[in-house]
């Protein structure tokens, strides 16, 4: 369980910074995931817009986000920026919620980022995909590294 009483919602800029961090990691993962396909094609580049290749990359992105969200509540970018996802019960999202979140975030991104930009005008700083999946992002407290332990 996540103690929602000691947490607050991150601002949109922190959220965007975590997204950028994850985007860079995901680009590297997708690049590495393409290498085995080059062996299959004999080194020939895959045609731009190839539906099978696009589905392959989309599936990898889906697993990247949903696995982290359902297992530890944070992608590496979210961890770096001390952001964690939870549902209304202060628990990690289940696979259904994570799937809805990923799919609605994809639609929001394709729509010119409007699903993400919604956080700037939402009173709770929630995006459209937060609302669709009934999840929210919470800001984790800073670890108190300098405090003397008894």
pLDDT tens digits, one per residue of 54-79? 999 999 999 999 999 999 999 999 99
Which helix or strand (DSSP H or E) is residue 73 part of?
Answer: none
What are the tens digits of pLDDT across the range 19-40?
A: 999 999 999 999 999 999 988 8
Which two tokens mark 126? 């929630």
Confidence of residue 103 (pLDDT cuts 50, 70, 90): very high
How far apart are the C-alpha atoms of 88 and 128, rounded to whole Å?
A: 15
Strands (E), 66-123: 83-87
> In the predicted model, what is the mean pLDDT of residues 34-56?
88
Share of the chain above pLDDT 90, in %: 60
Q: Is 135 helix (H, G, I), strand (E, B) or coil?
A: strand
Q: What is the residue whose two structure tokens read 């005008």?
A: 121
């Amino acid at each position: 369980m996540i103690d929602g009483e000691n947490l607050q919602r991150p601002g949109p800029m922190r959220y965007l910074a975590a997204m950028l961090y994850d985007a860079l990691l995901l680009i590297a993962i997708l690049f590495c995931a393409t290498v085995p396909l080059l062996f299959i094609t004999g080194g020939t580049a895959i045609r731009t817009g190839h539906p099978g290749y696009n589905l392959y990359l989309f599936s990898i992105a889906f697993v990247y986000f949903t696995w982290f969200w359902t297992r530890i509540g944070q992608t590496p970018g979210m961890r770096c920026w001390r952001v964690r996802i939870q549902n209304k019960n202060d628990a990690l999202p289940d696979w259904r919620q994570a799937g809805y979140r990923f799919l609605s975030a994809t639609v929001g991104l394709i729509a010119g980022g409007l699903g993400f930009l919604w956080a700037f005008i939402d009173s709770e700083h929630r995006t459209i995909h937060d609302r669709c999946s009934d999840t929210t992002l919470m800001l984790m407290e800073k670890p108190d590294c300098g405090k003397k332990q008894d």
